[in-house]
Amino acid sequence: MALPLPEETLLEMYWTMLLSRRLDERAWALHRQGKIAFHISAIGHEAAQVGAAYAIRRGYDWVAPYYRDLTLMLALGYTPREFMLNLMGKKGDPSSGGRQMPSHWSLKRANVISHSAPVATQTSHAAGIGLAIKLRGEDKVVITSVGEGSTSQGEWYEGVNWAAVHKLPVVFIIVNNLYAISVRQELQMAVANAADKALGLGLPGVSVDGMDFLTMYQVMKEAVDRARSGDGPTIVEARVYRITPHSSDDDDRSYRSREEVEQFKQRDPLLIARRTLEGEGVLTPQKHEALEQRAKELVDEAVRFGESAPYPDPEEAAYPVYAEDVQNA
Ligand SMILES: Cc1ncc(C[n+]2csc(CCOP(=O)(O)OP(=O)(O)O)c2C)c(N)n1
Ligand SMILES: [Mg+2]
């Protein structure tokens, strides 16, 4: 098939997915060892996130993510060390200096805004940033993501509606992993696809296989190009599956069968990407092994770094989260 990106870029995307998976698995282990208080996982969501990240101009466009977006964050330059500081609530955590819950991202150097824990608040933040871009006459775009359950929130409709009315340069990603904690999609919406909600809001809505990073990239690229050229926002629904429980504090055996989880594991986005890239001769088993080795070393090193890092000083609790001069803002 015709590959949409240079081989080197495809390998970089694969590497980001692999690193995300290995960091994520380590986070689960750290939680079970009592070394961190909480983890919320991106496992199963990696392809959708890397596809979205590579569709924007990273470091130039704006990003309003949600808590599952570890792979997206890594693609934007977030480091394994920073992730460990975040998980462990240590000094220097770029998201909040150890004050927010883990995985409530912020990364100023990558134009990732800080976000709140109430789901879908980032939707109206993204619409607001979109309006600012339009008023300033810039050619930037904003991407923002929520889970499918979060599209039940009034704030989600308000943000998307505003962006559609004013043709703002925003791409609204809905990560449909079928569940909002224990609540299945059918109990959240009467439409078959979350993207169908676009019809009532007056913007295009596309539902895609979010387990395939190339499909996601191509659909996101179109939506981002559309937004950048002034044609307005798009909803992109990425159909994925949450292979893990909702978070470290959830027991998914109470609401879904093991057979269902096993069935979706056959469509693990990492396996799909590996198969595609090996089929195209971009990846070889040897290259894959070398990446595995590198990921293990990086994760080990990041854990050591996080464990030996100090906790924030008590007065840092009163510092601002996003302001330029943290000491004097
Ligand atoms: C307004 C609000 N209500 C409830 C919660 C608690 N909560 C956190 S995540 C979550 C489920 C969200 O599900 P979904 O949007 O499908 O995202 P997923 O976790 O499946 O990726 C809920 C109910 C919250 N954070 N904010
Ligand atoms: Mg969900």
The ligand that comes nearest to the alpha carbon of residue 70 is: 1
DSSP letters, 57-103, are -TTTSEEE--TTTHHHHHHTT--HHHHHHHHHT-TT-TTTTT-SPTT
Q: pLDDT per residue over 189-228, tens digit each?
A: 999 999 999 999 999 999 999 999 999 999 999 999 999 9
Ligand 1 within 6 A of 149 CB? Answer: yes
Pairing mode, strands 183-184 and 179-180: antiparallel
> Would you say 16 and 292 are in contact if contact means Cβ atoms under 8 Å apart?
no
The answer on pLDDT for 327 being more than 70 is no
Catalytic status, residue 246: yes
> Would you say 267 and 261 are in contact if contact means Cβ atoms under 8 Å apart?
no
Model-level pTM?
A: 0.97
Dihedral sign from CA coordinates of 21, 285, 240, 234: positive
Q: pLDDT per residue over 124-147, tens digit each?
A: 999 999 999 999 999 999 999 999
Mean pLDDT calculated for residue range 29-40: 98
Ligand 1 within 6 A of 180 CB? Answer: yes
For the chain, list the domains and their CATH numbers.
7-246+257-302 (3.40.50.970)
When pLDDT is cut at 50, 70 and 90, the band that residue 324 belongs to is low
* Residue 211: both structure tokens together: 């387990």
- According to the model, what pLDDT value does residue 1 have? 76
Q: How far does residue 209's CA lie from ligand 1's centre (Å)? A: 22
Ligand 1 within 6 A of 270 CB? Answer: no
Of 26, 104, 115, 242, the active-site residue reads 242
Mean pLDDT calculated for residue range 72-94: 97
Whose Cα sits closest to atom 7 in ligand 1? 119
- According to the model, what pLDDT value does residue 19 have? 99
Sheet holding 62-64, edge to edge: 62-64, 142-147, 170-176, 234-239, 205-209
Q: How far does residue 120's CA lie from ligand 2's centre (Å)? A: 12
Ligand 1 within 6 A of 154 CB? Answer: no
Residue type, 245: P
- Lowest average pLDDT, out of 38-47, 193-202, 316-325, goes to 316-325
DSSP letters, 211-224, are T-HHHHHHHHHHHH
Ligand 1 within 6 A of 146 CB? Answer: yes
Distance CA 44, CA 72 (A): 13
Question: Residues 224, 24, 266, 193: what is their CA dihedral angle, to the nearest 10 degrees?
Answer: -40
Catalytic status, residue 104: no
The answer on pLDDT for 325 being more than 80 is no
Mean pLDDT calculated for residue range 262-279: 97
Catalytic status, residue 253: no
DSSP letters, 161-185, are HHHHHTT-SEEEEEEE-SEETTEEG
Q: How far does residue 149's CA lie from ligand 1's centre (Å)? A: 7
